[in-house]
Amino acid sequence: MTHKVLVADDEAFITNVVARKLQNAGLEVIVAMDGQEAYERAMDERPDFLITDLQMPRMSGLELCARLTAELPEPIPTILLTAKGFEIDQSKIGSLPILRVMTKPFSPRKLLASVQEALGVCAAS
């Protein structure tokens, strides 16, 4: 079974790097360039995992997580990407399925390892 990962970020460079890393590890990748598109894709595609930027046009990563958590029967495990120095109110994260917050620039290898660990997928050599 191939796991489906939704990558949402308004920076094309980030989505390209992350998508390539995940696809090379055998994961199916869906890309969205803003929060609203990510919401629509998630409702249609029902991904197994979400990687989202915090600050995006049309809907923030936190708003996206909150809406999906409220509207889908199962929470989607999430990694939240954030700009260096941007503080996140921990009380807003508590009720959401955010497994990890990663600061940009981040290691694509560490990101992949976190996704694989959460999905219970064996790491590719």
Position 122 in a domain: no
Position 124 in a domain: no
Q: What is the pLDDT of residues 81-107, one digit of tens each?
A: 998 766 676 666 778 999 999 999 999
- What are the CA-CA distances from residue 3 to residues 28, 79, 98 (Å)? 6, 15, 18
How much is the pTM? 0.92
Q: What is the pLDDT of residues 10-52, one digit of tens each?
A: 999 999 999 999 999 999 999 999 999 999 999 999 999 999 9
Find the domain containing 10 and state its range: 4-117
CATH code at 107?
Answer: 3.40.50.2300
| Count of the separate structural domains present in the chain | 1
Position 125 in a domain: no
Across the beta sheet with 98-104, the strand order is 28-32, 4-8, 49-53, 78-83, 98-104
Which phi and psi (to 5°) does residue 95 adopt? Answer: -90, 0
